[in-house]
Amino acid sequence: MSTVVNTTIPTLVLSAHLPDEVEIESLTPEVTVTITIDSITVFSSVYYTYNTKVYVRDIRSIVESAMVQNNLSICSFILSVKDMESSTKSTGDIKVIYSQMKSPCGSEDFLLNKFLSTRTSVLLSRTCPFTLYFYAKPFEQNSNYCEIYYTPSYAPDKVLKHTNNYPSKLSDSHAIKSYPASYSELQHLLSLSNINDSTISRVSFHIGPRVFNIYFTPDTPSDTFQFRSSFNLYDTVCLFGSTSTKTEVSHSEAVCGRIVSYYDEQTKVLHEVETAPLTLSEARHLTELLTSRHITRQTSEGEFVPVLITDVSPEISDNNTNPVRIKFTWTYADQTEYLPNE
């Protein structure tokens, strides 16, 4: 066999677990290495062997860049090698799930047991949009359901439970599946069972061994942001705290006689947020928002507009004696403010 790919890559892998380099062994003086994502070539180059070896590096950055560019959270990845004898070897079809973080339990164990999130519970307002994502293995059979805890209007002192069942088989192929989990969506699920005029306090999603809890508050958040998460999926954060608005004005000055006038005036409005006390888990998740490449802010129900984080230096400590608060500054990407929605 004149050419062989020595590096083994699991057939299901988080992108963060892709190898730093792939070793190729060939008896020919040169090989052509090609990387395809969903059958589209994203990289191709000629490598010259040294002592029959070739090393292809930066695999992860090549794959992740292609996934980000094409808004993919899952893809089929193939690295193929063609030598001068027209013999072609490849890694085979590898399913890659985008992840900026590594899992201590390995890719497959994480994907089959966890939702695609860095948290296991969340506090949301009743107007906040939210979607749960998870990886579905082909033909996998599980017990899938959600438990909605609500208080009916006719019994304000009681908390009742409604169970909504999902199909046991969720996919015939490798896929990222999602469930809308906003307050309005859950109210709709209740209405399908003739449960109306009720107040939902929490919901617990169970997809196989995966568990995720959502708690709803009647309080209005100071800000609601949507952003691209560590899994290249949209995530939502409701922040409770305070916001200070600062206006910066810059201009050039001209003097004619003894009269001063200004021109080229520019105004920049900055919003400085200080969160309410956060748990360690909430604080760590918030850093995902602050380091995301795409962030939007809710300006009205269902409307999100791009913003930029202009100043942030989160410092998180596991010292339980001091509550964790995070400060950061944001501004609208187009530098245009919105009228009060009141």
Tens digits of residue pLDDT in 86-134: 888 889 999 999 999 999 999 999 999 999 999 999 999 998 999 999 9
User: 263 CB contacts (<8 Å, ≥6 apart)?
Assistant: 251, 252, 254
Q: Are residues 122 and 185 in the same domain?
A: yes
Check: CB of residue 103 under 8 Å from CB of residue 109: yes
Q: Per the structure block, which two tokens stand in for 216?
A: 């709803």
Q: Final residue of a domain: which of 197, 220, 243?
A: 220
Range in 33-42, 156-165, 321-330 the model is least confident about:
321-330
Total number of domains constituting the chain:
3
Domain for residue 10, yes or no?
Answer: yes
CA distance 236 to 58: 31
Q: Are residues 228 and 319 in the same domain?
A: yes
Confidence of residue 224 (pLDDT cuts 50, 70, 90): very high
Counting runs of H as helices and runs of E as strands, what totals does the chain give? 4, 23
Tell me what the pLDDT averaged over the chain comes to.
Answer: 90
Domain for residue 149, yes or no?
Answer: yes
Q: Are residues 87 and 131 in the same domain?
A: no
Share above pLDDT 90 across residues of the chain, in percent, rounded to a whole number: 64
Handedness of CA 57, 9, 16, 131 (dihedral sign): positive
CATH number of the domain that 78 lies in?
2.60.40.3110
SS3 104: coil
Is the pLDDT at 244 greater than 90? The verdict is no
Q: Final residue of a domain: which of 170, 188, 220?
A: 220
Q: What is the pLDDT of residue 158?
A: 93
Structural domain harbouring 96: 3-101
Confidence of residue 321 (pLDDT cuts 50, 70, 90): low
Domain for residue 106, yes or no?
Answer: no
Q: Are residues 321 and 264 in the same domain?
A: yes
CA distance 336 to 342: 18
pTM strictly above 0.85: yes
Q: Are residues 187 and 162 in the same domain?
A: yes
Confidence of residue 254 (pLDDT cuts 50, 70, 90): confident
CA distance 134 to 74: 11
Is the pLDDT at 332 greater than 80? The verdict is yes
Q: What is the pLDDT of residue 258?
A: 74
